[in-house]
A and B are shown apart, each in its own frame.
Chain A
Amino acid sequence: MKQLARWGKAAEDAVLVLLLGAMIVLACSQIVLRNFFDAGLIWGDEALRLMVLWLALAGAVAASRADKHIAIDVMSRFLPPWGRRLTRVATNLFTAVVCGCVAWFAADFVLQAREYEDELLGGLPAWWFQIIMPIAFALMSWRYLVFVILDIAGRRSESERSVSDA
């Protein structure tokens, strides 16, 4: 389990670093090409937009691991520890179910796109790029399910999730 977590985090980091690095390089070379050579990669702008989607979802998966998604959470700090654990199980279970649903319907969307042979980047199958959506939401669903299991088993200490964590 620990091993799995380490591999998972390394994979997330690798994806984030590669995407962000590629994005900076590509965006800057587009500027140079446009201004100095009056040219540009035809697929460049579209690729950059797809990278934003991928980066957003990879970042969202990473945010799930760190339990750092934007939330309102005004009540938790008034609860005793057992109450906090209870509401955490409820909200995390809810999130796991919602992410699961989103992953399911996103997979449906990808299958449809594959069936209709939608294309992106001048000829590549669109589903290659869209498949990140079901994958990312499935991973997030899994992540929140792990939180639920750990909380029920009492294996998640308070310090792992402090309310005022900046």
Chain B
Amino acid sequence: MIVFGALLLLLAIFGAPLFALIAASALYSYSREDIDLSALAIEFFSIAEMPVLLAIPLFTFAGYLLSASKAPSRLVRLTDALLGWMPGGLAIVSLAACAFFTAFTGASGVTIIALGAILYPALKQSGYEPKFNLGLVTSAGSLGLLFAPSLPLILYGIVAGISIDTLFRAGVLPGMLMLAMLAGWCLWVNRDQKQTLKRFSWKTVGSALWESKWELPLPIVVLGGIYSGYFAVSEAAAVTALYALIVEVIVLREISFKQLPDLMRESMLLVGGILVILGMSLASTNIMIDTGVPQKLLGWVSGFVDTQTSFLILLLLFLLVLGAILDIFSALVLVVPLILPVAAQYNIDPVHLGMVFLSAMQLGYLTPPVGLNLFIASYRFERPITEVYSATFPFLLILLLSVIVITFWPQLSMALV
């Protein structure tokens, strides 16, 4: 058992696909418990028994469509027209635009590629320091994870068995807190900087609004539909996909029919990668629950933790380490089912746990050694990875502070639920 575990760990750090590692451990546990190994396929097939999963391919595809069109630059122009007049305006524009875009495209690093390419040179032009820009764009690329309809939020709802509308409401205030703290930091850092401030003009706002007229209904329909309860999440996803397809391909013609198969393929690579891990972990989680792993975990934790506060401290430390080595989707499907029952023993609401989990995992995008955003930024802006590390570090600290607040202030997550 220990030898087998060590072997899997070794294969993992040398890059074996996670789904194969999880499948191997599930098959191994089944054979130890004398369960028919075809049970793995039965568990995997339950992917076809979860209606909400429909939202994942549809939202992902819509996100890829929007990023490949000129919607990102229209979004930046509109936010700039609305917020660019404030001191530190463009920095705040970047944060807001990135958060909005990530919520819609689902935290897969596309934000840095789609928006960073526009924001990075624009920030430089407005007189911000290169190092600040690099850190800002890199860390803003994962903001917005807590806002509807982000994929990790949906996936947490599926895994934890909580209504997704509830999570969408819960994420609003913690997400705002992260945004506000980063915005405050940007203003503070640039308090002495001379920037060319723009004057607010209704005319620019008007023309930016007019330019985005085709995309504007999207967030209104989707968010309005979900929050009012008119649409189920998967229905909202279907509407988003169809609408984005019609607008970008037929109305605006920014994406040609020829590009579509490649875009579909690219987006479904990600979906396949996530869902095959989900399918395998359904099998491995079930066998772990059957063999009492959560109880053992609880027994072990309660050995040295007895209050809710000390449990939250331990949880936070664990999640920060987890986020540094595992991507958010795998961490969600693998770890959430195991810690949910443990957290319940310490009277932590699953909704609050979700906010803590997702916000802590968001830091994982920015922590070495495997922080995805660090690599994408280094690759995209052609800066050495060490420079990206140090540029992002202050932002990482601010975000860490916000995660601590979210962890120890449950009312923030529960106020709108």
Name A residues whose Cβ lies closer than 8 Å to a Cβ of B.
Answer: 12-13, 16-17, 20, 23-24, 27-28, 30-31, 45, 48-50, 52-53, 55-63, 66, 68-76, 87-88, 90-91, 94-95, 98-99, 101-102, 105-106, 108-110, 112, 129-130, 133, 164-166
Contact = CB atoms under 8 A, between A and B. Distances in A.
Given A27-B235, A48-B54, A75-B15, 15 more contacts: A16-B264, A20-B264, A31-B231, A31-B239, A59-B269, A60-B273, A61-B272, A68-B273, A70-B329, A73-B370, A74-B13, A76-B15, A90-B14, A102-B27, A105-B41
B87 to A, nearest CB: 33
B264 A71 contact: no
A133 B56 CA distance: 19
Given A27-B58, A28-B242, A164-B375, A72 B37 contact: no
Interface centre among B18, B264, B329 (most CB of A within 10 A): B264
Contacts of B17: 69-71, 91, 95
A95 B279 contact: no
Contacts of A59: 57, 268-273, 275-276
A49 B15 contact: no
B41 A108 contact: yes
Contacts of B54: 23, 27, 48-49, 52
Interface string B268-302: 11111111110100000000000000000000000
B47 A53 contact: yes
A68 B14 CA distance: 15
A145 B13 CA distance: 20
Contact of A166 (B23, B27, B41, B113): B113
A87 B15 contact: yes
Interface in B4-56: 11-20, 23-24, 27, 37-38, 40-42, 44-45, 47-51, 53-54, 56
A31 B270 CA distance: 26
Nearest to A46: B48
The 9 closest A-B pairs by CB, nearest first: A59-B272, A73-B15, A27-B238, A56-B275, A69-B17, A109-B41, A60-B272, A59-B268, A91-B16
B260 interface: yes
Interface centre among B38, B231, B268, B275 (most CB of A within 10 A): B268
Contacts of A109: 38, 41-42, 45
B265 interface: yes
A98 to B, nearest CB: 4
Contacts of A70: 17-19, 273-274, 277, 327, 329-330
Interface string B216-240: 0000000000000001001101110
Given A56-B275, A60-B272, A72-B18, A31 B57 contact: no
Contacts of B27: 98, 101-102, 105
B70 to A, nearest CB: 21
B28 to A, nearest CB: 10
Nearest to B234: A27
A63 B275 CA distance: 12
A16 B14 contact: no
B53 A87 contact: no
Contacts of B330: 70
A164 B382 CA distance: 12
Nearest to A108: B38
A164 B385 CA distance: 10
Given A20-B264, A49-B54, A166-B375, A75 B13 contact: yes
A50 to B, nearest CB: 5
Contact of A62 (B23, B56, B272): B272
B372 to A, nearest CB: 8
Given A49-B49, A49-B51, A56-B271, A69 B40 contact: no
A91 B51 CA distance: 34
Contacts of B237: 27
A115 B120 CA distance: 61
Interface centre among B14, B274, B369 (most CB of A within 10 A): B14
A76 B361 CA distance: 23
B126 to A, nearest CB: 26
